[in-house]
Amino acid sequence: MAKVFLPKGARDLMPAMMNRRLLVIETVREVFARYGFEPLETPAFERIETLTGKYGDEGEKLMFRILKRGKGGQAGEVDLALRYDLTVPLARVMAMNPGVQLPFKRSQIQPVWRAERPQKGRLREFYQCDVDTIGTDSPIADAECIAVVHDALTALGLTEFTIRLNHRQILRALAEAIGAGEQETSMLQAIDKLDKIGKDGVEKELIERGFSNQQVSELWQYLDGKTIPGTSEFEAQLRVILDIALDLGVDPDRVKIDRTLARGLDYYTGPVFETVLDGGYSGSISGGGRYDGLIGMFSGKGDVPAVGVSLGIERIFMLMEEMGLMPTTMTSTQVWATVFSSDTRSSTLEAAAVLRQAGIRVQVSTREGKLGKQFKEASTRGVPFAMVCGPDEAAAGTVVLKNLATGEQFSGTAEQVAIEIGN
């Protein structure tokens, strides 16, 4: 017997899972659209030159490279690779469409591919879900990143979260304030672990990284609220963004300025934001910020103002499952149309057609005969209702609708049954 496997780190999204994911994606897409973020899709692969040099050594190792077709490929030549994120493709789109109206606001919900180690349970194909606003430095654009995340999570029922807000330039000033301007990255890497390893852990790590006791002590004073020299402009920016976010309807209890948020080591140039679920869930479910240096990389036009946020959609799917926020239905089919016999099949099919016209999802049994067996099949599949059309019903122009959980029955025309299901 032939054996067949999935590639490592890949998965099939079976119907029960897909139905739930589509609901989440539709909800998120609708929230995005309400803010003027409109959908973009880019190809799965990009030219290798477009992707190389963008992700650092580690990232490059994780790229899936595609052989040239024909002779070049036989010689091992590569011309394409699967996209690793949605930001480099966006930069390419902006470079190739210089006439596009700015600000350009786009959402993009598509898979990306990374050859992560599957033994760690990491997926090699997973969806990313980004919105970005290109071409404006208005703080409205930054605040909208906070507002869409707020609205999307709220719409999904994930209501207990905190959006943390900080500024890349404040972090830089912080490093300088403790005399560690050169060790900024190292400092940020340590601070970034605060959630995971706590204050003591971060202190220990900073000492190990060569920071002095005095530096560490000063650092905590600044993180606790002491004014960091040279940051008044950036603090003011954050307050404006926060004010706008509140005007946009963001719940003031769900967002806060937080100097310990160390997101974005190289990438971000201005405000940064990150969302964590309250209640001890570790890790972020969304993150973003202003990154003015990246979008212009292909156009040669220098910095292009850009701000965006990414919803950790795979993590959100998983958490919603864990938290019972996903529908538990195995199927979206509402009615199992049993087929009593060949003689009544026509009437059954016609009734099914009436229900479908009314927007109801009906699967017709491909097995005729014993109704008990057909009811059982429907129940096993998680279909809530069965429809029966025996000789008496066929003669009377009616059908019987049976609620498979309660056993309740309703008899009427197909039109009446459609209304009954709608109630």
Q: How many CA atoms lie within 13 A of 19 on its CB side?
A: 10
Shortest separation between residue 281's beta carbon and its own copies, angstroms: 26
Q: Which stretch binds its own copies (CB under 8 A): 214-222, 270-278, 364-372, 411-419?
A: 364-372
Shortest separation between residue 155's beta carbon and its own copies, angstroms: 11
| 259 lies in the site for its own copies, by CB under 8 A | no
Position among 23, 27, 52, 67 found at the interface with its own copies (CB under 8 A): 67
Q: Which stretch binds its own copies (CB under 8 A): 56-64, 158-166, 267-275, 404-412?
A: 56-64
Helical ranges in 224-367 per DSSP H:
232-247, 313-322, 342-357
- Using the 8-state DSSP alphabet, how is residue 254 labeled? G
From the list 248, 234, 273, the residue with the least C-alpha distance to 131 is 273
Residues 6 or more apart from 315 whose CB is under 8 A from it?
A: 283, 285
Helical ranges in 289-341 per DSSP H:
313-322
Considering only residues 278-297, where is the footprint of its own copies by CB under 8 A? 297
Considering only residues 102-131, where is the footprint of its own copies by CB under 8 A? 103, 105-106, 111, 113, 115, 125
Considering only residues 13-32, where is the footprint of its own copies by CB under 8 A? 13-16, 18-19, 22, 29
Shortest separation between residue 95's beta carbon and its own copies, angstroms: 5
Shortest separation between residue 260's beta carbon and its own copies, angstroms: 28
Position among 27, 52, 136, 416 found at the interface with its own copies (CB under 8 A): 136
Shortest separation between residue 199's beta carbon and its own copies, angstroms: 37
Q: Which stretch binds its own copies (CB under 8 A): 193-201, 287-295, 309-317, 347-355?
A: 347-355
| 405 lies in the site for its own copies, by CB under 8 A | no
Measure the CA–CA gap between 142 and 73, rounded to whole angstroms: 45
| 55 lies in the site for its own copies, by CB under 8 A | no
Please give the structure tokens belonging to residue 81: 């690779």
User: With b meaning 16 or more CB within 10 Å and e meaning fewer, what string describes 6-31?
Assistant: eeebeeeeeeeeebbbeebbeebbeb
Shortest separation between residue 385's beta carbon and its own copies, angstroms: 13
| 235 lies in the site for its own copies, by CB under 8 A | no
In this complex, which beta carbon is closest to its own copies, that of residue 140 or of residue 371?
140
Shortest separation between residue 207's beta carbon and its own copies, angstroms: 36
| 419 lies in the site for its own copies, by CB under 8 A | no
DSSP letters for 264-288: -SSS--SEEEEEEESSS--SEEEEE
| 36 lies in the site for its own copies, by CB under 8 A | yes
| 76 lies in the site for its own copies, by CB under 8 A | yes
| 220 lies in the site for its own copies, by CB under 8 A | no
User: With b meaning 16 or more CB within 10 Å and e meaning fewer, what string describes 345-357?
Assistant: bebbeebbebbee
272 within 8 A of 163, measured Cβ to Cβ: no
254 within 8 A of 275, measured Cβ to Cβ: no
Considering only residues 156-215, where is the footprint of its own copies by CB under 8 A? none
40 within 8 A of 156, measured Cβ to Cβ: no
Shortest separation between residue 333's beta carbon and its own copies, angstroms: 5
Position among 24, 28, 86, 93 found at the interface with its own copies (CB under 8 A): 93
* CA of residue 123 relative to chain centroid, distance: 14
Shortest separation between residue 158's beta carbon and its own copies, angstroms: 18
Q: Which stretch binds its own copies (CB under 8 A): 65-73, 180-188, 256-264, 313-321?
A: 65-73
378 within 8 A of 362, measured Cβ to Cβ: no
414 within 8 A of 355, measured Cβ to Cβ: yes
* Amino acid code (one letter) for 211: F
Binding residues for its own copies, rule CB under 8 A, total 101
